[in-house]
Chains A and B, each alone.
Chain A
Amino acid sequence: DGGITQSPKYLFRKEGQNVTLSCEQNLNHDAMYWYRQDPGQGLRLIYYSQIVNDFQKGDIAEGYSVSREKKESFPLTVTSAQKNPTAFYLCASSMGWERNYGYTFGSGTRLTVV
């Protein structure tokens, strides 16, 4: 079955460490997105990519980095510069950017700083 796989499901990070969250899709979707969600809050866009080797900053890109070397993969690195990284991270993909194309989401990664 096609879908998006995020790993790991839970991640613990020590302060000062960089960590990388994985996002892989086998839907042949062109666009991919990373969102951050804090408890009881909405989704905030971190980065998005519409095509391989290209990506754009979202609303809260500071302290995060991404790469898009393959169509299927869009990993997110949470760097030590991100002051408050504890949150739920959702990856999503979209077939394109027509108005009727919604997102398919992964199951999320819950990151905790210890």
Chain B
Amino acid sequence: AQKITQTQPGMFVQEKEAVTLDCTYDTSDPSYGLFWYKQPSSGEMIFLIYQGSYDQQNATEGRYSLNFQKARKSANLVISASQLGDSAMYFCAMRGAIQGAQKLVFGQGTRLTINP
């Protein structure tokens, strides 16, 4: 079975600071993908970043980067220079290549609040 754990229910950060959202995972699939989504108060789910398990480099997308540590089974999201608009729920998810291929498995989410 696959599992995603996000241990931070909520985080409060000052504007312009960097923030790290934690995500650990468990899977028996030898190959898998890891995703981060943002959910603002409007409810829509916005894709942020993807990391493949065999990718040699950490993924980056603008102010978002993924700190991927395969041996520790962690895939933390780093947001640099946080903005007020970053306040939202953030979900980590994974998809296995074999056993877990049919669907994404999501964590419980972290609610990030950016203070001015």
A contact residues vs B (CB 8 Å cutoff):
31, 33, 40-43, 45, 48, 50, 56, 58, 88, 90, 92, 94, 97-105, 107-108, 110
Contact = CB atoms under 8 A, between A and B. Distances in A.
A45 B103 contact: yes
Given A42-B91, A88-B43, A107-B43, A99 B106 contact: no
B12 interface: no
Closest 10 CB pairs of A and B: A105-B45, A99-B33, A99-B97, A42-B108, A97-B101, A108-B43, A43-B106, A102-B35, A100-B33, A107-B44
Contact of A102 (B47, B107, B109): B47
Interface in B16-72: 29, 31-33, 35, 37, 42-45, 47, 50, 52-53
Interface of B: 29, 31-33, 35, 37, 42-45, 47, 50, 52-53, 91, 93, 95-97, 101-104, 106-109, 111
A42 B103 contact: no
Contact of A99 (B44, B52, B109): B52
Given A33-B103, A103-B104, A110-B43, 19 more contacts: A31-B102, A42-B106, A42-B107, A42-B108, A42-B109, A45-B103, A48-B103, A58-B103, A94-B104, A97-B102, A98-B97, A99-B33, A99-B52, A100-B95, A102-B47, A105-B44, A107-B42, A107-B44, A108-B43
